[in-house]
């Protein structure tokens, strides 16, 4: 039995109480689990000796806005919650890697923190909160990490404007940084095709 199939077989021991789906593609194994069962599932993945995922390598948010609406995409027409949190796990003991995905509805961007399982999740969860607006229940210090305290919005969301919502500058009179509405005019870049005309002139 290959390493990938061995891992898939071992995942069956996670427990009958956890509703999850297992997929394999390009030699990589992923599981998708319901939000209400995420923490229990990850705790089992960490604790069970035949799995033993001791390390959380990465945790990130994903925004699927408009994903699948373009017919040229491989998964065109896919539907589901707009947001997701993805956990990349490593078992040093068994030399296995695993991707765990939990989908989140836009109206309820909340999921349990996993700091009690992997303390390294601290800054990963703060980053996902800052850039996507995902709330991690039970996080001891959930605040912005990469943007300023007065920042408006979450810049990794697909509908976040490129110019942002506000701009900042140092005000000499007030002696502090102030925030103001963005003064840059929104600009939509439209690609142009330039072809050589019969007379040698370029037509746009």
pLDDT digits (tens, 9 = 90+) for 15-74: 767 888 999 998 899 999 999 999 999 999 999 999 999 999 999 999 998 887 665 555
Q: Render pLDDT for 95-113 as a digit per residue (tens, 0 to 9).
A: 999 999 999 998 989 999 9
Indicate whether 23 belongs to any domain: yes
Indicate whether 132 belongs to any domain: yes
Alpha-carbon torsion (87, 90, 91, 96), positive or negative: positive
Task: State the Cα–Cα distance between residues 178 and 166, nearest whole angstrom.
Answer: 10
For residue 73, give Cα distances in angstroms to 54, 66, 81, 83, 176.
36, 11, 18, 18, 48
* Residue 135 lies in domain: 3-160
Task: State the Cα–Cα distance between residues 76 and 61, nearest whole angstrom.
Answer: 21
What pLDDT does 163 receive?
62
Indicate whether 52 belongs to any domain: yes
Q: Give the pLDDT band of residue 77 (cuts 50, 70, 90).
A: very low
- 149 contacts 135 by C-beta, under 8 angstroms: no
Indicate whether 183 belongs to any domain: no
Q: What is the CATH number of the domain that holds 37?
A: 3.30.460.80
pLDDT at 78 over 70: no
pLDDT at 116 over 80: yes
Indicate whether 174 belongs to any domain: no
Q: Render pLDDT for 140-194 as a digit per residue (tens, 0 to 9).
A: 999 988 887 777 778 889 887 766 667 777 888 888 877 777 776 666 667 677 7
Q: How many domains does the chain have?
A: 1
Task: State the Cα–Cα distance between residues 114 and 34, nearest whole angstrom.
Answer: 15
Q: What is the secondary structure of 139-184 as a DSSP string? A: -TT---SSS-TT--S-TTSTTS-TT-SEEEEEETTTTEEEEEE--S
What pLDDT does 188 receive?
65
Indicate whether 90 belongs to any domain: yes
Classify 52 as helix, strand or coil: coil
Task: State the Cα–Cα distance between residues 7 and 30, nearest whole angstrom.
Answer: 10
Indicate whether 137 belongs to any domain: yes
Indicate whether 184 belongs to any domain: no
């Amino acid at each position: 039995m290959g390493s990938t199939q061995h891992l898939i077989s071992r995942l069956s021991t996670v427990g009958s109480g956890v509703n999850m789906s297992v997929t394999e593609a390009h030699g990589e194994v992923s599981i998708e689990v319901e939000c209400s069962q995420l923490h229990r599932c990850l705790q089992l993945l960490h604790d069970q000796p035949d799995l033993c995922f001791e390390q959380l390598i990465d945790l990130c948010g994903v925004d699927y806005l408009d994903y699948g609406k373009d017919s040229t995409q491989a998964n065109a027409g896919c539907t589901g919650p707009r947001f997701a949190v993805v956990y990349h796990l490593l078992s040093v003991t068994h030399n296995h890697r695993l991707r765990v995905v939990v989908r989140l509805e836009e109206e309820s961007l909340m999921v349990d923190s996993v700091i009690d399982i992997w303390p390294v999740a601290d800054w990963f969860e703060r980053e996902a909160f800052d850039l996507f607006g995902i709330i991690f229940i039970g996080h001891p210090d959930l605040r912005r990490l990469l943007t300023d305290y007065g920042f408006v919005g979450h810049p990794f969301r697909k509908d976040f404007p490129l110019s942002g919502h506000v701009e900042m500058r140092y005000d000499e009179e007030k002696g502090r940084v102030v925030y103001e509405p963005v003064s840059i005019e929104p600009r939509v870049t439209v690609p142009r095709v330039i072809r050589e005309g019969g007379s040698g002139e370029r037509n746009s």
